[in-house]
Amino acid sequence: MRIATFNIWNKQVMWKDRLIAICEEIKKVNPDIISLQEVMAY
């Protein structure tokens, strides 16, 4: 079982580009369980 945790917020700078990069990395790692830290709600 592969578990991955990502702290995704950090700064709002270039958010759309960072979101694409985050999604690509999650796909690459292909985890069974994902934990996200510092998720912002809009």
- Model confidence over 1-38: pLDDT tens digits? 999 999 988 778 888 898 899 999 999 999 999 999 99
Q: How many Å separate Cα 16 from the centre of its chain?
A: 12
Beta-carbon-side half-sphere exposure of residue 31 (alpha carbons within 13 Å) = 13
- What pLDDT, on the 0 to 100 scale, is given for residue 11? 79
C-alpha 38/C-alpha 21 separation (Å) is 16
Residue type, 20: I
Task: Reduce the DSSP state of residue 4 to 3 states and report it.
Answer: strand
In angstroms and rounded to an integer, the radius of gyration of the C-alpha atoms of the chain is 11
CA-wise closest residue to 5 among 27, 25, 35: 35
